[in-house]
């Protein structure tokens, strides 16, 4: 019970905390950019004995917030202290004292504050996005290149690291801090003007370290406000032997003893673009082509809709911008979502994202599956 209590309390502490005190109202950002998340203080108060994402049962006395869980009548207490625009939260559970630091957001969207705080120039691409679980996420920043000849560097764990073929050694060190690091999502904050060969190198180094879950983070400025990170999720493939990449022997030994995900057989096959359920998308010098013609979203949607299990092979040249690449990825996801919604309304008279029955959700997924393979 104490373990459950600690887990729930930590979740509540890092996602929402309620106070009547005017000084702590507003938006607060975690100063640890390895796993950035938001605390949003509101006036909401749930007197019932259950938790919601934006409110919890609480009482406040001076500088202390008292939180009561439905499984225990003994309140947990969180001490808060504010110095200028910095908030400190201190709690004591299981006889271990923890202290976290936050700073007050100055803009409508929290990412602008993060950019100002860590002092990097980083313009995120625009696009459709989905929420990702920020509690199981490492953030990697790939900012704008200062000059044409400068070395690309990423920011991870508040440390600048060179983006080269040895980066996977540093990434692999994350396992020392978290045995389940390979199960986490890696949120990629990549400048929109970055060349795709650099993005591909970063993804390759993640694959070499055995980290396969990523999310491309997009600029939320034209979307509804999110209380968590937003991103377009993807799952990377493992490194294949024929790719002949150098991998540190200690990393290689670990990966060889780890059960790797099975790659799709289509990855090894030579595509037959004459088949109706196979198509080719190419991004060349920032132009997008569909089967050797200028990309047409309407035609692509028709192919997705009329050919169940459509295989789309995506080829990107090294010099195209990340912006162009992520725009297509976003378009691909949005068109698939459109197909799911249409099928869901047809079968269940409701939109796909409003379905709550798991069997219905799975059924729509099976009926509308399309696959994108990046080459």
Same domain, 117 and 175: yes
Say whether both 164 and 243 belong to one domain.
yes
Of 205, 221, 256, the residue that ends a domain is 256
* Residues 220, 236 within the same domain: yes
- Residue 114 shares a structural domain with residue 252: yes
32 lies in the same domain as 98: yes
Total count of domains within the chain: 3
For the chain, how long is the longest CA-to-CA vector?
Answer: 72
Judgement on whether residues 269 and 249 belong to the same structural domain of the protein:
no
Residues 120 and 215 in one domain: yes
Which structural domain, as residue segments, surrounds residue 207? Answer: 110-256
The contacts of residue 191 (CB under 8 Å, 6+ apart) are 121, 122, 123, 124, 142, 143, 144, 145, 322
Q: pLDDT (tens digit, 0 to 9) for every residue of the chain, 375 residues total?
A: 333 333 334 334 443 444 445 677 777 778 777 777 666 665 444 444 333 333 455 667 777 877 665 555 666 777 888 888 888 888 776 566 778 888 888 776 667 777 777 778 888 887 666 666 556 678 899 998 866 666 889 998 888 899 999 999 999 988 876 767 777 889 899 999 999 999 999 999 999 999 999 989 887 655 444 445 567 889 999 988 878 899 999 999 988 887 777 777 888 888 999 998 999 999 999 999 999 999 999 999 999 988 778 999 999 999 999 999 999 998 898 898 889 999 999 999 988 878 888 898 889 988 888 999 998
- From 355, 350, 283, select the one nearest 320 (Cα to Cα): 283
DSSP 35-61: S--EEEE-S----SSS-BTTB--EEEE
pTM score, whole prediction = 0.80
What's residue 17's pLDDT? 43
In this structure, the answer to whether residues 284 and 332 fall within a common structural domain is yes
- Answer yes or no: do 123 and 210 share one domain: yes
| 117 lies in the same domain as 193 | yes
Which of 56, 86, 104 terminates a domain? The answer is 104
The H or E element spanning position 132 is: none
Question: Is the same domain home to 114 and 243?
Answer: yes
As a 3-state breakdown, the chain gives helix, strand, coil percent values, each rounded to 5, of: 35, 25, 40
Does 248 share its domain with 129?
yes
User: Where among 256, 289, 320 does a domain terminate?
Assistant: 256
């Amino acid at each position: 019970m104490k373990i459950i209590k600690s887990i729930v309390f930590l979740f509540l502490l890092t996602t929402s905390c309620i106070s009547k005190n005017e000084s702590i109202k507003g938006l607060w950002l975690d100063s640890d950019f390895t796993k950035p998340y938001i605390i949003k203080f509101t006036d909401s108060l749930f007197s019932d004995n259950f938790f919601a994402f934006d409110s919890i049962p609480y009482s406040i006395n001076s500088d202390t917030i008292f939180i009561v869980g439905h499984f225990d009548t003994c309140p947990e207490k969180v001490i808060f202290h504010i110095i200028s625009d910095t908030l400190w939260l201190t709690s004591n559970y299981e006889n271990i004292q923890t202290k976290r630091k936050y700073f007050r957001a100055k803009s409508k969207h929290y990412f602008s504050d993060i950019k100002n705080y860590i002092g990097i120039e980083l313009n995120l691409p625009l696009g459709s996005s989905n929420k990702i679980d920020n509690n199981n996420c490492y953030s990697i920043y790939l900012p704008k290149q200062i000059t044409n000849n400068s070395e690309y560097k990423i920011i991870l764990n508040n440390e600048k690291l060179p983006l080269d073929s040895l980066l996977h050694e540093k990434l692999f060190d994350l396992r020392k801090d978290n045995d389940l690091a390979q199960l986490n999502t890696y949120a990629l904050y990549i400048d929109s003007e970055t060349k795709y060969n650099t993005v591909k190198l970063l993804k390759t180094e993640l694959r070499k370290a055995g980290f396969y879950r990523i999310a491309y983070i997009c600029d939320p400025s034209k979307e509804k406000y999110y209380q968590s990170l937003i991103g377009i999720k993807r799952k990377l493939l493992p490194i294949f032997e024929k790719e002949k990449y150098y991998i540190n022997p200690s990393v290689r030994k670990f990966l060889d003893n780890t059960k790797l995900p099975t790659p799709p057989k289509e990855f090894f096959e030579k595509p037959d673009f004459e088949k109706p359920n196979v198509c080719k998308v190419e991004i060349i010098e920032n132009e997008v082509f569909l089967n050797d013609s200028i990309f047409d979203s309407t035609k692509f949607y028709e192919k997705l809709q009329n050919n169940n299990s459509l295989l789309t092979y995506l080829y990107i040249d090294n010099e195209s911008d990340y912006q162009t690449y992520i725009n297509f990825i976003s378009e691909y996801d949005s068109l698939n979502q459109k197909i799911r919604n249409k099928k869901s309304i047809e079968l269940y008279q409701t939109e796909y994202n409003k379905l709550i029955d798991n069997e219905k959700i799975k059924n729509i997924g099976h009926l509308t599956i399309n696959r994108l393979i990046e080459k």
